[in-house]
Amino acid sequence: MKPRIWLDGAALRANVAAFAALGAPVAAVVKNDGYGWGALRLARELDGVVESYVVADEDELAALRPGTKRPVRLLADVPAARLRSVVDLGGIPNCSSRESVAAAAGEAARRGGLTVRVGILDAAGWSAIRAEEAAVFASTLAGTALAVELWTHVSSTARAGAILAGFSAARETFVRAGIPVVSTDVASTGSASVANAHDRLRIGIGLFGGRLGTPIATRCALRVEAPLVRLYVQGGIGFAGYGDRRIPDASEIAVLRCGYGDGYPKGMAGAADILSVGMQYTTRVRRAATDPCVLIGATDDLDQLAAEAGITPHELVVGLA
């Protein structure tokens, strides 16, 4: 007796369409092996509807490549020794240091041109340049055969204005220095909007149905079905679990075979009708005596579920993976 936990491919594709409706194609972020669900598995579901993929590094590129012919963008700089194989594999590397620009420039000369990514803070702390460094950085690119995809990451709502202003200033600087800026991308799920659409949207948690507060009509692509182990009538005791949750007498309690050992968040205890979450079992006040019982499904809101559990939607998704 085990829970079944799976992904709804149609929901994944509908979520891509919901973001693309903002006016730019979706680059599916499948780092950490597709948020734990398997990058190849996600590519199998999504390859027909996404523009490209985003991975962390060259190892993830190599693992994903058998599953797609689309471009794969790397968040990190590539060690010089592996740059050629990354480009051969259709990876678009990031450059955030003189050394990585020098290696890419060499490769560009050999090939008659090459596109790299340059991230402006908050791109990713370990692979970005600061907006103030744009002029100096542009001078290292000048005279090479490199074209640039300029990007940033709006990682904080509070600093969104400053991040985007720094990004625009850096872009101006690059263009004035004569660097070919061939595309720009700035938004992930939480900052996705018409204004931030640019040339593509980098969507990770949004594929699964997360919105991070954005008003986008995603739907939950996760489904968790838990076998019903036992139904019993609560009589006289008046509490569930270990006595910290009072419930009305004569409530009917369902014991379900799915617990935090399966990735169902322990913090769900106390939310809605969930009484307790143990390693293997969850108890809830009976809603309907269905077996199996749907603990998470298409009608759930991933943002809200995660908030009830006191975690982020990212933690919920990788935990269930």
- Which chain residues interact with ligand PLP by CB under 6 A? 29, 31, 75, 124, 153, 188-190, 202-206
Contact criterion met (CB below 8 Å) for 284 and 273: yes
Strands, E, within the chain: which ranges? 4-7, 26-29, 52-55, 72-77, 91-94, 114-120, 128-129, 146-152, 181-185, 201-203, 222-226, 228-233, 239-240, 245-246, 252-257, 274-277, 281-285, 293-296
In angstroms, give the least distance from the CB of 6 to ligand PLP. 20
Q: What distance in Å separates the CA atoms of residue 268 and residue 274, rounded to the nearest whole number?
A: 7
Helix, strand counts (H, E) of the chain:
11, 18
Cβ proximity to ligand PLP, 43 vs 75, nearer residue: 75
Burial (CB < 10 A; 0-12, 13-18, 19+), residue 9, is middle
Cβ proximity to ligand PLP, 262 vs 303, nearer residue: 303
In angstroms, give the least distance from the CB of 267 to ligand PLP. 20
Q: What distance in Å separates the CA atoms of residue 178 and residue 139, rounded to the nearest whole number?
A: 10
Burial (CB < 10 A; 0-12, 13-18, 19+), residue 176, is exposed
Select the residue whose beta carbon is closest to ligand PLP and give its number: 204
Cβ proximity to ligand PLP, 118 vs 205, nearer residue: 205
In angstroms, give the least distance from the CB of 291 to ligand PLP. 34
Cβ proximity to ligand PLP, 73 vs 257, nearer residue: 73
Q: Which amino acid is at 228?
A: L
Cβ proximity to ligand PLP, 31 vs 41, nearer residue: 31
Q: Which residues pair with 294 in a beta bridge?
A: 225
Cβ proximity to ligand PLP, 286 vs 314, nearer residue: 314
Burial (CB < 10 A; 0-12, 13-18, 19+), residue 289, is exposed
SS3 at position 50:
coil
In angstroms, give the least distance from the CB of 105 to ligand PLP. 24
Cβ proximity to ligand PLP, 124 vs 271, nearer residue: 124
In angstroms, give the least distance from the CB of 30 to ligand PLP. 10
Q: What distance in Å separates the CA atoms of residue 209 and residue 37, rounded to the nearest whole number?
A: 14
In angstroms, give the least distance from the CB of 109 to ligand PLP. 29
In angstroms, give the least distance from the CB of 88 to ligand PLP. 24
In angstroms, give the least distance from the CB of 119 to ligand PLP. 8
Cβ proximity to ligand PLP, 83 vs 207, nearer residue: 207
